[in-house]
Structure 1
Amino acid sequence: MTAAGDSHELDRLRETAQVRLEKAVGDGHLTLEEYSEQAAIVWSLDADLERLRELVPVDTPPPPVSRPQSTIIGIFGDTQRSGRWSLAVKTLALLLFGDVKLDLRSAVIVARTSTITLVTVFGDSTITVPEGVHVEVGGFDLFGDRELDAGAQDPGPGAPTIRVVSYSLFGDLRVRTR
């Protein structure tokens, strides 16, 4: 095969691998961090044909069932979620005098877009996302700071979207990678 033929096959395999990754993350077979790592391999300049052919394994365990909505309530206490957990399509966190920390790097999602709504009074919110996902931040803060660091990796086509909507009184919002 010619160099141009190799290039066309590589492009075709990249597109096919990206579609498989999107389906795998949407079905809950990959966490956001696993998706991010594999999408970076797909779109890297030194991607090879063999690696692209074996990216998403066919035999993966069934994903945990995610409810369409989840509610977190905390009064005078902190709430933290990390490790492998199922992120609902819509998550609402209500905190009074407490902090919320959500680590989405190993979270399993079942929707292309997940929305996290934070309502905090005298509390900070920290959301950790993997590189390579779209992050949208909205809401309103009174006497609080807002920080968004979505990393240096460009989200590929079809990357999952995490929407963070924060309403805070005397609290900071930090959305970051690592």
Structure 2
Amino acid sequence: MKDQMAEKDNLEKEEILKDQTTATEHVEQASMEQDQETDDQKLVKENQELKEKYLRLYSEFDNYRRRTAKERLELIKTASEDVLKDLITVVDDFERAFKAEESKGHEANDQEGNRLIYQKLVKIMESKGLKPMNDLHGKPFDAETQEAITQIPAPTEDLKGKVVDVVEKGYTLGDKVVRYAKVVIGA
């Protein structure tokens, strides 16, 4: 009977060991599954972070590309600005010469050649985008495009605060003012 009891105890011990082994295996398997879940969560989180970084980098590059394209267009538009500014003084000299010749009463034949050269120069400058500010007489003073040299008493009441005389023409290149018009304002 002792053998049977010992055998029974051994069987019970083996069953307890099996149960403990099975429980340990379940705990290890659960732990592995939990580790795998946390690894999956880490990968998902890392994937999201990489996507966000990619989107930020892509948008920064797109902004850079747009900005440089805009700057390039601006540069192309205004590349000839310095040359045109220098040529404006030549146009001014032509206009002064015409006024001086008219006051002296020179013949029209003498002025014709100069006028042709002047017109050709003006057309070339206009083809490059340079435009004179015309018809400023009687218009309200605009500090964004005009420079007031002086104020004089207005000849009429309706010319107060408006342009009475243009001393030097203003010019624009596209939307940009290349030279401000120098004007006299009525007070």
TM beyond 0.5: no
Higher helix share: 2
Pick 1 or 2: higher relative contact order, CA cutoff 8 A, min separation 6: 1
State which structure, 1 or 2, has the greater radius of gyration over its C-alpha atoms. 2
More strand by share: 1
TM-score for both structures, normalised by structure 2: 0.28
